[in-house]
A = this chain, B = another copy of it.
Amino acid sequence: MKPLKLGMVGGGQGAFIGAVHRIASRIDGHWDLVAGALSSDPVRARASASELNIAPERAYTDFIDMAAREAARADGIDAVAIVTPNHMHAAPAIAFLEAGINVICDKPLASTLQEAEAIATAVSRSNARFFLTHNYTAYPLIRQAREMIARGDLGKLRLIQVEYVQDWLTQELHNKQADWRTDPARSGAGGCVGDIGTHAYNLATYVSGLSATELAADLDSFVPGRQVDDNVHVMMRYENGAKGLLWSSQVAPGNENGLRLRIFGEKAGIEWGQEAPNQMRFTPFGEPTRILTRAGAEATPAGSRNIRAPGGHPEGYLEAFATLYAEAAQIIRADRGQATPDLESHTPDIDDGLNGMRFIAACIASSRDNAAWKALLGEQVT
């Protein structure tokens, strides 16, 4: 089957996440990058496109222009990847959705809840698909954990403990990444809570299958002069009486990308961390702890999909990211009748994006109100 054609907005020279998206799109051979508005700076846009073997006529400097012209081409792109800073998600997303082009958007969904809702409106009006790259959801053992919980292996859930802990902002720091991620104008009012807190929150609801109902949050900016939060403590309440703690931080020395999830039910628990993503502890009450491995013994159907290397050959961050691109391709092809719909996959979409934005808003509101409980209105798990 021929690869689909991908465009990209953002991700020019010096960017980080754009390169990750490109590798992810290549790994399984489902996508060819053929067009881009890689930078708002025309010189950088052209140079970046050239490096990536994008034909000059498809190296745009303006995403509005790109959406219009790609929509008009017979060989126009099948989807666009939006990899700009948060405040630059809404405008291109809406432009491509309105042009009928599928969108693969980085997270968090936007820099404000208002922008997020505007995207959601555009999604509801468009025939095109919208995918949100909550990449951690695509690790095979995360899929397996979700499936184990859904089928009752843990019993009724009681506790969801999640954390995403880094250290790179322990001190004052200035570089391209740090600058936009700590600038409220570009990242939104949330700093750490938006950048990685949303990942933690998304993973907790994604795996547990439970919506959060309310939360109490205590946010801090430990580094003097920092305008956004760099540490986030949250007490969570989920539907059906489950409770949880959520911690995200960018000022905890010794932590690189410590995303860790522990869920406990009446019958068993699971424990997983993304820095060692090919193992998961499964702890049935009253029995020895079992080490489940990616594609290993007792792998469930969901844990056995999207496997590229045998057990014991570690797959990592890029492979999980690639699974989202593979699933987007599969869904788009199925929409066109070119492939079988894959009813079992659980690719994050606009609802995950909205939930994340509501989480950010609730955390900020709660923290400003001395950690009073705030409802997560409209929260839904899909």
Contacts and interface: CB of A to CB of B under 8 A. Distances in A.
Interface of A: 1-3, 16, 19-20, 22-23, 26-29, 51-53, 158-159, 161, 166-167, 170-171, 216, 218, 220, 222, 231, 233, 235, 237, 241, 243-245, 247, 249, 251-258, 262, 264-269, 271, 274-278, 281-293, 296-298, 308-319, 370-371, 373
When all copies of this chain in the complex are counted, the total is 4
A132 B328 CA distance: 35
B257 A283 contact: no
Contacts of A3: 53
Contact of A22 (B29, B170, B171, B268): B29
Given A166-B312, A243-B233, A269 B254 contact: yes
Top 8 A-B pairs ranked by shortest CB distance? A254-B283, A256-B312, A257-B312, A314-B316, A313-B317, A253-B285, A288-B290, A289-B291
A265 B249 CA distance: 12
Contacts of A314: 274-277, 314, 316-317
A95 B353 CA distance: 55
Contacts of A222: 158, 266
Contact of A289 (B243, B277, B290, B371): B290
A264 B169 CA distance: 13
Contacts of A167: 269, 283, 285
A244 B267 CA distance: 29
Contacts of A310: 16, 256-257
Contact of A235 (B218, B267, B296, B316): B218
Contacts of A281: 254
Contacts of A216: 216, 218, 235, 371
Given A23-B28, A53-B2, A285 B171 contact: yes
A317 B313 CA distance: 6
A52 B29 CA distance: 9
Given A218-B243, A310-B16, A288 B277 contact: no
Given A167-B285, A275-B278, A315 B316 contact: yes
A15 B22 CA distance: 27
Contacts of A298: 287-288
A234 to B, nearest CB: 8
25 contacts: A23-B28, A23-B308, A29-B53, A218-B235, A233-B235, A233-B243, A245-B247, A252-B262, A253-B264, A253-B285, A253-B286, A254-B271, A254-B283, A255-B283, A255-B312, A275-B312, A275-B314, A276-B276, A288-B296, A289-B290, A291-B291, A309-B318, A313-B316, A316-B319, A318-B319
